Structure 1
Amino acid sequence: MAFLAELAASRATGAGLASVGVFWGGFAAYLPDYKAAAGASDAEMGLVLILSAAGGMAAMAASPRIMVALGRAMLPAAGALVAVAAFLPLLAGDIISLGLVLLAMGATMSTLDIASNVRISEREARDGLHLMNLNHALFSFSFGASAFGCGLARKAGLGPEFVAPVLFLVLLLLAAVMAERADATPPAAATGGEAAASPWGAILPAAAILFAAFVSENATESWSALYIERTLGGPAGEGSFGPAMLGLTMGIGRLSGQFLAARLGEARLVAGSALLGVAGALVVALAPAPAVAVVGVALIGLGVAVVVPSANSLLGRAVAPEQRAYAISRSWMIGFTGFFLGPVGMGLIAETVGLRWSFAAVAVAMALILPGLARLSRR
């Protein structure tokens, strides 16, 4: 019965994170097509993906004040923008237009993402429920389902122009589900004094954990399709099984984390998961065939699954209620730079020594979760 209560409490926020998953899953499946249409090299693709993170960071900086202004309308309004953004990748015909599209996509997705996470943290504090892993599991399952479905469409010869209207309709439906009840807790506005007094001793280690997790997740999400098809010789469309497996196993990991966190505690759960992710990245780097790489991606997914939601929960409990939106948005702003360095680093390493070494770097990133976790756990 407790799980049913958690599902009911996650209706609006779960739909929000599911929308982000549906969008990025479809984008990841068609990433080789967008890269080819823009005529981008590995290094150029890595660099242009920076703009997605730049747009996201700008949105995170503004999100606390926007949430105060829009109140209960925040989630459905952001969800409607995400639905419209389903058509943006079709506008990318060269490297410059692709960069502008990624900038807009990053801002749109992050607005909905951070708003959903703040709402989840508020609901956890108000009702005493464990909701982070469940909500993030909905993101992962949606990402995996979208990547898998769009991968099948791509393998059948359907271009992104045929898939975008379908994504739009699905995302618009999810936006309608995001309407919040009248008793939804409004976000507390962080004044300058509150911001200045924020406990950066908790924000910084949480940001370090998020950074390492975002590097690992986004690098695997963005480059596993290319790695499977180009480095390992998989046929067109088979590369989408990489991001699809990542989404599926992250969903399974987060759903399991919903129950394991109560038994093991978030800190132990994250530590074991980080080590599993290290092993998975090494499997991908050493994979002799696409099937082995997909198994490695599965281990990365299980490893990275609980890191972000559990770090959010740990941070949310470490700060005062009126500082929660500020602390989460600022830790995400800093940690989100992993979306800068992840794609850029993967692209530069791939250009220099190949994608195998890029996934070896993912193993290092997963290992770096442990020092930040040790510091945050002492708060």
Structure 2
Amino acid sequence: MKRIESRSINKLIESPMTATPQSARFSVSLIFLIYGTLIGSYLPYLPFVKDRFGIGESAFSMGFLFGAFGALASLPLAPWIIKQIGTRKAILLMSLLYLSTVGFMMAAPSFALFLVLFLLVGLTISTWEIAVNSQASAIEDQMGRPVISSIHGFWSLGTFIGTAAMAGWLALKLNGLWLILGLIVLGFLALPTVYGGLLRREQIPAESTAKPQPLKLRYMLYPPLIAIAFYMVAGYMLEGTFQDWGALLIRELMLGRGAEIVPERLWSLLPVQEADLRRRAAVSGAVALAFFTGTMTIGRLSGDFVIARIGRAGTLQIGGIIAVIGIVLVYLPSHQLLTFIGFACVGLGTANIVPQVIKTADSTPGLPAGVAISIITAVGFVAFLGGPVTIGFSGEHYGFRVTFLTLAIFPLVLALTAGLLLRWFERGRKDRLQAETTD
């Protein structure tokens, strides 16, 4: 039996078939869908995990800090791994490690174990992000038209499916952990299909021809990359905060600040009205996340069409304005439906920040192939996990409504500067390419 399994694994890894850009696009979209669905399912479940440990928001945010440490550790490690085994095998390896870890993290009996597992999750998913975005960028180059936003759209589609599924699951008063574990099993079953369709190493010039390049300080201090890194931080900060703390914001709005921490297993001991209110707050948190991820899905799936007509700068500027409006709606004391609409506006407004920054960074002149994506992706994912640490601390001390309002500075700056910055970057890129051609 073991010999048969070994032959099957070797056959999977050493498959000689050559992938097409179309099959690779399907595979990358599918793995984005898998990750998005799983993450979307456990985001609304995080308040239950926090209450299980009996800790406040500041302490619980340490989990995100450990995840950020893992993502930061991947900055020098991920390019080395990818150069050794290629993006295709890196995606498979990191997916196996991530799916094996995240279920234990959600079921961790102690906060200390939760922190250790979150560190591993940050390390694996950040390395995975670098590898999968390298594949997505190569696919867009080979297809000769914008596709990276629609590929990222499947992540958002997955988070919408996951949050909507968890909302229904919690409404039925079922244990959310079982849904998460079921999705992990489905993820394992889909990995052979994903792996079989990815581009091989020899099909990606950056992998097959470029020599391994260590990350040097001068690469990280390259001015165009620093400027674009702000947009990456803005995009991931907004995504991470609304996804990680959105459910707790809704709970604060419904239960009030400083509501007593009561683990779900003890809700049956509460007065019926209070127990029902806590259940409705949990469901409403999942619904708000579904609004956020649903409009983000629409924005990304339609992003390639929009960008082809009004350009990257125009898309980011309009998106920034929509996101600012959404954050203001979330802040204003109003009907819950307007809060949901606010979540929807932020999801739509931030939809194309991350994929377009990744594609812009990939064409950075003067940097070795793949280095810019490694730096930008790792920096962004540190913001995705590390940013919510400050949000959790601020939310516990000043309230999540006020804390979320301060996030408006990110899309506001983006809306005001995207046109100037991207035009400057594009002009510099063309000048450098012309100089290289002349030489």
The TM-score normalised by the length of structure 1 is 0.90
Counterpart code for 1:256:
S
Matched, 1:212 2:227: no
Tell me, which stretches of 5 or more residues in structure 2 are unaligned? 1-19, 256-279, 426-439
Instruction: Specify whether residues 199 and 36 from structure 1 end up closer, same or farther in structure 2 by C-alpha distance, changes over 3 A only.
Output: closer
Counterpart code for 1:110:
S
Matched, 1:242 2:242: no
Displacement, 1:147? Answer: 1.4
Give me the whole-angstrom Cα distance separating, in 1, the residues matched to 2:145 and 2:216: 26
Q: Which of residues 297, 305, 326 is equivalent to 1:259?
A: 305
CA deviations on 1:343-367 (whole Å, 9 max, x unpaired) are 1222222222211101101212222
Structure 1 stretch 283-292 or stretch 272-281: which is displaced more? Answer: 283-292
Displacement, 1:231? Answer: 1.7
Displacement, 1:226? Answer: 1.4
Query: Secondary structure, in 3 states, of the residue corresponding to 1:40?
Result: coil
Query: Secondary structure, in 3 states, of the residue corresponding to 2:55?
Result: coil
Instruction: Specify whether residues 362 and 194 from structure 1 end up closer, same or farther in structure 2 by C-alpha distance, changes over 3 A only.
Output: closer
CA deviations on 1:268-311 (whole Å, 9 max, x unpaired) are 11111011111111111114233221110000000000001111
Give me the whole-angstrom Cα distance separating, in 1, the residues matched to 2:95 and 2:411: 31
Query: Secondary structure, in 3 states, of the residue corresponding to 1:92?
Result: coil
CA deviations on 1:59-110 (whole Å, 9 max, x unpaired) are 2432222112222322222222232234122442333222222212222222
The TM-score normalised by the length of structure 2 is 0.79
Q: Which of residues 100, 107, 116 is equivalent to 1:84?
A: 100
Q: Which of residues 21, 37, 58 is equivalent to 1:22?
A: 37
Q: Which of residues 359, 362, 367 is equivalent to 2:407?
A: 362
Matched, 1:140 2:152: no
Give me the whole-angstrom Cα distance separating, in 2, the residues matched to 1:7 and 1:158: 39
Aligned length: 374
RMSD of aligned Cα (Å): 2.4
Give me the whole-angstrom Cα distance separating, in 2, the residues matched to 1:23 and 1:29: 11
Matched, 1:338 2:383: yes
Aligned to 2:185: 169
Query: Secondary structure, in 3 states, of the residue corresponding to 1:337?
Result: helix
Counterpart code for 2:160:
G
Q: Which of residues 129, 132, 138 is equivalent to 1:116?
A: 132
Structure 1 stretch 323-332 or stretch 123-132: which is displaced more? Answer: 123-132
CA deviations on 1:321-373 (whole Å, 9 max, x unpaired) are x7232111112233333235531222222222211101101212222334663
Counterpart code for 2:316:
V
Instruction: Specify whether residues 255 and 248 from structure 1 end up closer, same or farther in structure 2 by C-alpha distance, changes over 3 A only.
Output: same
> Conserved in 2, the CA contact under 8 Å of 1:17 and 1:113?
no
Aligned to 1:230: 252
> Conserved in 1, the CA contact under 8 Å of 2:233 and 2:380?
yes
Aligned to 2:121: 105
Q: Which of residues 363, 385, 392 is equivalent to 1:317?
A: 363
Structure 1 stretch 284-293 or stretch 7-16: which is displaced more? Answer: 7-16
Matched, 1:94 2:140: no
Displacement, 1:21? Answer: 0.9
Structure 1 stretch 204-213 or stretch 310-319: which is displaced more? Answer: 310-319
The structure that has the greater radius of gyration is 2
Give me the whole-angstrom Cα distance separating, in 2, the residues matched to 1:285 and 1:129: 39
Aligned to 2:259: none
Query: Secondary structure, in 3 states, of the residue corresponding to 1:318?
Result: coil
Aligned to 1:46: 61
Aligned to 1:200: 222
Query: Secondary structure, in 3 states, of the residue corresponding to 2:363?
Result: helix
Aligned to 2:260: none
Counterpart code for 1:184:
Q
Percent sequence identity over aligned pairs: 23
Give me the whole-angstrom Cα distance separating, in 2, the residues matched to 1:238 and 1:7: 38
